[in-house]
Amino acid sequence: MSAVAQEVKKLVQSRPHIRSRFSTWKCHWPQRLKNRMILEIEENQWMKREEQGNTKCPVQCICLERCSDGRMIVDCERRNLTEVPREVPQGLVELNLEANAIQSVPAYPYMVNVTILRLTNNQIKSLAASTVERLENIEILLIDANQLATLPREIKTLNFTTLALDGNLFKCDCTTKWMKDWLLKERNRIKNIERVLCNSKHVHGKPMYGLPDDQFICLPQLKEKNAGIIASSILGTLLALVMIVAALIYKYNGEVKVFMFTHFNWHPFDRIDDSDPNKIYDAFVSFSSNDVDWAVNTLQRRLETHDPPYKLCIYHRDFEPGVPIEENIWRSLDQSKRMLVVLSSSYATSDWCLMEFRAAHRKVIEDRMKYLILILLEDVDTNQLDKEIQNYLRSDTYLVAKSKRFWQNLFYAMPLPTKGIRSERRISPL
């Protein structure tokens, strides 16, 4: 607005009867008032343009002086600026830097005189505390539509009337919890407070001022929290697996133990202490003479050719001649770590075999150890068996000679082979 236009308005105000003469006069400059009726312009909009050479007006900007209060308006909007001007005219200043490519706002000395600072739609990533401290006379601060992640705490000391912050990339964690409290306190002076949003992943797009306090979690805490959840999940999964494995081991106890022994030679579960030096045999084999073919040619041969070989006590080979058979039986039982019983229909009807079984069974009860290994050679009618054998079959496990895993199960039940040379007496069954 020129001085002439300003004088015209003053004249009309003092002489209303001549108003009609100037009712069609319009503004030509500045652009924002172009084609507005002169008589409609408010007093605080009357300005005069500063001559470029007589002021510190930035080259890219337009500098105006408001006639009503003498404030300088430095208009640098849409000037493709990448930096804030280093100098502006002296006195109170309204600085418009909207729609440029500015990334930072230095704490230039003139900032202390800035009353309105428009920084909307730039690329500002941070606002320095030193800059905020300079804004002693700030009234309006528009820093919306930038890339701010946080604000310096010094902003709480500003005595502004309007502040715009929406359109930034604020993080909402333990370091910005104070911002929420401050926004709530200043909510009447914050423009579009509901559009000041969080950009943190766990609360992306939520208004900061309405976010619950427990959602302001720092990234390390969040990682720790997630790590805790993951650890709990892993621990729960492992615990479930352990319980499943334990249940399977309980259900298939024998199979698991045999598998571990067969494949890894590991026998940690129920190994019997067989360190008694008086036990010179690994096993005493009790069988009927009708089953001698399997007992000698299969069972005995397999065990005594094992690597290392087992040392067996076979009655027709190892009983001492001239000693009563009952004494031979008891002596052999005492000198053997196990007793192998080859159970068949013939065995169940043999008095000598039953005597051997009862002696071994009594030893099991007295010593409370798994001394007896019963091998079911063929299908037998359990109702026709001796009562003690029936009771044993009901209460203890036994091996079935025809099963696929018979030998693995037998080797597991056997003691570790006795060191030394096995008996070389000629086998001549009676």
Say if 254 falls within a structural domain.
no
Burial class (CB in 10 A: 0-12, 13-18, 19+), 271: exposed
- pLDDT at site 224: 52
Say if 78 falls within a structural domain.
yes
Structural contact between residues 100 and 79, judged by C-beta atoms closer than 8 angstroms? yes
CA proximity to 141, closest of 169, 119, 111, 121: 119
- pLDDT at site 325: 79
Looking at 27, 45, 63, the residue that finishes a domain is: 45
- pLDDT at site 99: 96
398 SS3 class: coil
Q: What percent of the chain has pLDDT over 90?
A: 37
- 212 pLDDT more than 80: yes
Say if 123 falls within a structural domain.
yes
pLDDT digits (tens, 9 = 90+) for 2-21: 555 555 556 556 667 656 65
- pLDDT at site 167: 95
Long-range interactions of 377-382: CB distance < 8 A, separation 24+: 377/291, 377/294, 377/342, 377/343, 377/344, 377/347, 377/401, 378/344, 378/345, 380/343, 380/344, 380/345, 380/348, 381/345
Structural contact between residues 382 and 306, judged by C-beta atoms closer than 8 angstroms? no
Say if 290 falls within a structural domain.
yes
Task: Tell whether 157 and 286 lie within a shared domain.
Answer: no
- Give how many domains the chain has, as a whole number: 3
Q: Which domain holds residue 174?
A: 54-215
Task: Tell whether 150 and 190 lie within a shared domain.
Answer: yes
Task: Tell whether 34 and 7 lie within a shared domain.
Answer: yes
Looking at 215, 236, 252, the residue that finishes a domain is: 215
CATH of the domain at 199: 3.80.10.10
Structural contact between residues 303 and 312, judged by C-beta atoms closer than 8 angstroms? yes
Neighbour tally for 126: CB within 10 Å: 16
- pLDDT at site 19: 62
CATH of the domain at 287: 3.40.50.10140
- pLDDT at site 203: 92
Least confident of 105-119, 160-174, 389-403: 389-403
Structural contact between residues 181 and 220, judged by C-beta atoms closer than 8 angstroms? no
CA proximity to 414, closest of 298, 290, 311, 276: 311
Residues 285-307 have a mean pLDDT of 90
Task: Tell whether 41 and 100 lie within a shared domain.
Answer: no
Amino acid letter, 295: A
Task: Tell whether 66 and 209 lie within a shared domain.
Answer: yes
Say if 250 falls within a structural domain.
no
Angle at which helix 406-413 crosses helix 253-264, to 10 degrees, equals 80
Token couple for 228: 């805790």
Task: Tell whether 60 and 152 lie within a shared domain.
Answer: yes
Say if 231 falls within a structural domain.
no
- pLDDT at site 246: 67
Between residues 396 and 401, the one the model is more confident about:
401
- pLDDT at site 107: 96
Strand duo 72-75 + 62-66: pairing: antiparallel
Rank 219-223, 235-239, 260-264, 298-302 by mean pLDDT and report only the highest: 298-302
Task: Tell whether 33 and 92 lie within a shared domain.
Answer: no
Average pLDDT of the chain, as a whole number: 81
- pLDDT at site 424: 40
Torsion 63-64-70-72 (CA) sign: negative
Amino acid letter, 427: I
CA distance 277 to 281: 10
Say if 269 falls within a structural domain.
no
Task: Tell whether 202 and 86 lie within a shared domain.
Answer: yes
Task: Tell whether 75 and 101 lie within a shared domain.
Answer: yes
Q: Residue 135: pLDDT band by 50, 70, 90 thresholds?
A: very high
Residues 120-145 have a mean pLDDT of 96
Task: Tell whether 39 and 185 lie within a shared domain.
Answer: no
CA proximity to 295, closest of 274, 316, 279: 316
CA distance 307 to 291: 25
48: CB partners within 8 A, 6+ apart: 1, 2, 3, 64, 65, 67
Please give the order of strands across the beta sheet that includes 339-343: 312-314, 283-286, 339-343, 372-376, 399-400
H-state helical runs in 252-296: 253-264, 292-294
Task: Tell whether 32 and 141 lie within a shared domain.
Answer: no
Task: Tell whether 81 and 156 lie within a shared domain.
Answer: yes
Say if 311 falls within a structural domain.
yes
CA distance 355 to 270: 28
- pLDDT at site 262: 45
